[in-house]
Each structure stands twice: as C-alpha cells, then as structure tokens.
Structure 1
C-alpha cells in the first residue's frame, strides 16, 4: 500500500515532511487536513485517523505514526533516501539530531508562541494581545533567532551541518518562515538567516515554493495589515 501523509501546509512540520518526501521521490498519497476548519478536532477524526488530533502523521499500511521527526527517521529506514538528509554515519547523524532536539524548546517553541499570540488567538477571539504578551512573545522569539544564528550558522559551511544540506535545514527553515504569517519576517532582520534560507529554498525547489505557496499568500496579506517592528 502507498504511504499516506496527513498534513496541512500551514503547519511547519507538515511542510518539512512534504518537501522531504517530494525531494526523495518517496511515493505517497496526499491527505490534506484543514486545521483552519477544525477537521482534526472532530470525534470521527480522533477515532478514524489519529487519537492525537494533530498533523502531520502517516499511515503506512497498518502502521500509524505521528511526530514529524520520528516520521522522518522512519522514512530513512524504510525507503531509499539520499544519505546527506539524515546520515547513517553515527557522528554525522548525531549532529543532525543535535539541532532537531535543540529546536523544540527554542526555534519551534518561541516562533510558534509568537504566532499564536499575535495571529492565531486574535483570529479566533477577535481580541488583540496585551502589549505585555506581545512584547514577551517577541522577545523570546528574537532571542531564539539570534541564538540560532550564533550556534548553527557558522563558517564551517553554508548549511546547518556544514557543506551538505540535511533534514535539519528543512525543519529549521519551515519553522523560521512561520512568523511571517503574523507580519514579522526574520529574513529582514537577520541577514545570515536570509542568506541561509535562500540556499535552502534553492536546494529544495520546486517543492519548497510549492509547500509555502499558501503561507506566502497569507503572509503578504498579513504584512499589509500588521505593524510588527523591532
């Protein structure tokens, strides 16, 4: 049976997996789930598709798995994947894992918190966040972005792990694109991040642009109406 990917391209890890599968020619059935319409919140969805009610997740025959990074690791074991994405060499693989573990409480947490505070919650409730909440969420996001530049964008190579692109680059780029939905573009304020993302985009196209089409459209609209300034 063909692998089924359940995803929403407004979800950062969904985009990362989508790009990864496309780049490596892994055959999969596209199963979009609209988070904006709450398709994942129904009891039917919970019983039929995923008890966790989150995306992305996969069904590979009778085997079901959530969590994008766990899915990526599974895919590299089950399908012929180019080694540089998630190297079999223990030390090289460990360096990819180093970023993937670090990002949970840094880039992912703080970029997501900023987006939820300034875009998602106001859209759901019709109420803007207090200045205190806005300032706090932005402060932690900016700290994570600065730390990311300092720790991972070094002179050892153009990508996070050096001279070759890895899954860590896709994951990080998709997370750092996300605040654009709330009118804040990290690439405007962080030149090293801008250069690196442009390289990731080039390496991953046409699938990078394909995965970010909806985000780009919404970000353009948001940028016209949101005044997010440093």
Structure 2
C-alpha cells in the first residue's frame, strides 16, 4: 500500500512535505483535504488526525500528524540522500536547530502576517486591521533579517544548514514565499 499524504496545498507545511516527496521520488497517494470547505472537520479526516490539521500521513497504518515529525520520519524510513536530514549527529542537530527555531519565528510571523493581511479580511469580509498587520510585518521582517544574517551568514551560504539542501530549506521556502505569493491570493478567492 502506498504512503497516503493528506494535505491542502494552501498550507505551507503541507507544501513542504509534498515537495519533499516529489524531490525524493517517494511514491505517495495524494489525499486533498479542502480546508476552505471544512473537510478537516469531517468525521473521516478526524479519524486520521484528531487535531484536524494538515499535513498528515498514513504509512501502512502508521499515522503522523506534524510536519517536522513527518519529514524526520520519511527521511529516516525511506533512506533518502543524506543531505535532506543528515545521519551525522552534529549535522542533524544543526538541521534540528532550525526546525525548532522556525516554529516561533518563520512559521509564526509569516503565517500571522499573511493571515491578518489577507486571509481573515477575505474569510470574514472585514477590513484589514492595519495595526495588527504592521505588528506582524515588523516581526516577520526581523525574522527575515535573522535568516539572512544568521542562518545564511549574510549570503555566504546558499542553504539554511550545510552545503546542500535539507528539510530545513523546504520548510523555510514554503513559509517565506507565502506572504508575497500572487498565486496564493488567487487560490484563496476560488
């Protein structure tokens, strides 16, 4: 039985898992969960993920529901090239360092900027709360500066960790592209 991937590609973590599977050529059965239609609140999806969030995987009955855990599991279980999630413990710890940092930085501030500037006004048909947007934009810009200055060492590095792409880069790029993506805005209106 193929790996089942439950996603809505509007979700940044969902896109990271999807990209990882495509780039590593891991076969999977795509199960779209339409968040805008509330499918994640349905009984069927609730059996997969009681938290009712995407992404989630079902690997022959083994279910995982958090993007970072999914990436770590797939990298180890499917024996992908080592650069994705290094077996060397020190290199792995550096990837883990970003994976832990991103939750309260890249993920939080990019998502909250997008949510307050575009998603909430559209979903609830209300005006943009400019103060709220400005606060999250300021925090997002601080985060972006930290990525550039600290993680990428002022442009000396091409990747978040190491000399090759890793799961850290996939999570970062999916968060960083969301706030400015015209494609995302057009998908929201559908």
User: 1:171-218: per-residue Cα shift (whole Å, max 9, x none)?
Assistant: 10000011024x7xxxxxxxxxxxxxxxxxxxxxxxxxxxxxx53854
* Residue 88 of structure 2 corresponds to residue 119 of structure 1: no
Mapped to 2, the partners of 1:216 and 1:117 lie a distance apart of 13
- 1:16-62 per-residue CA deviation (whole Å, 9 max, x = no partner) reads 1111111111111111111121111234432x322110000001111
Whether the 8 Å CA contact 2:48–2:56 is kept in 1: the answer is no
Which runs of structure 1 show a deviation greater than 6 angstroms over 4 or more consecutive aligned residues? none
Cα deviations across residues 94-118 of structure 1 (Å, max 9, x unaligned)?
0111111111111100001111111
- Equivalent residues of 1:114, 1:138 under 8 A apart: yes
Q: Is the 8 A contact 2:12 2:174 kept in 1?
A: yes
Task: Give the corresponding residue for 2:5.
Answer: 5
1:109 is the counterpart of 2:78: no
TM-score norm. by structure 1 comes to 0.76
Partner of 2:64: helix, strand, or coil? strand
- How does the TM-score come out when normalised to structure 2? 0.92
SS in 1 for 2:98: helix
SS of the residue corresponding to residue 168 of structure 1 reads helix
> What is aligned with 1:201?
none
Are residues 44 and 85 of structure 1, via their aligned partners in 2, closer, same or farther at CA, if it must alter by over 3 Å?
closer
Q: Is the 8 A contact 1:33 1:39 kept in 2?
A: yes
State the match for 1:24 in structure 2.
24
Q: Which residue of 2 aligns with 1:33?
A: 33
* Cα pair distance change 1:4/1:94, threshold 3 Å: same
Aligned equivalents of 2:11 and 2:26: distance in 1?
20
Could you say which residue in structure 1 is the equivalent of 2:184?
A: 215
Task: Verify: 1:59 aligned to 2:58, yes or no.
Answer: yes
Whole-Å Cα distance in 1 between the matches of residues 77 and 132 of structure 2? Answer: 44
Once the two structures are TM-superposed, the CA of residue 156 in structure 1 deviates from its matched residue by 4.8
Give the C-alpha shift of residue 129 in structure 1. 2.8
5+ residue gaps in structure 2?
Answer: none
CA spacing shift, 1:157–1:130, aligned 2, 3 Å: closer
Q: What is the DSSP-based 3-state SS (H/G/I as helix, E as strand, rest coil) of the residue aligned with 1:91?
A: helix
Is the 2:64–2:70 contact (alpha carbons within 8 Å) kept by the matching residues of 1? yes
- Alpha carbon RMSD of aligned pairs, Å? 1.9
Structure 1 stretches lacking a partner, 5+ long: 184-213, 222-230
In structure 2, the CA distance between the partners of 1:93 and 1:216, relative to structure 1 (3 Å rule), is farther
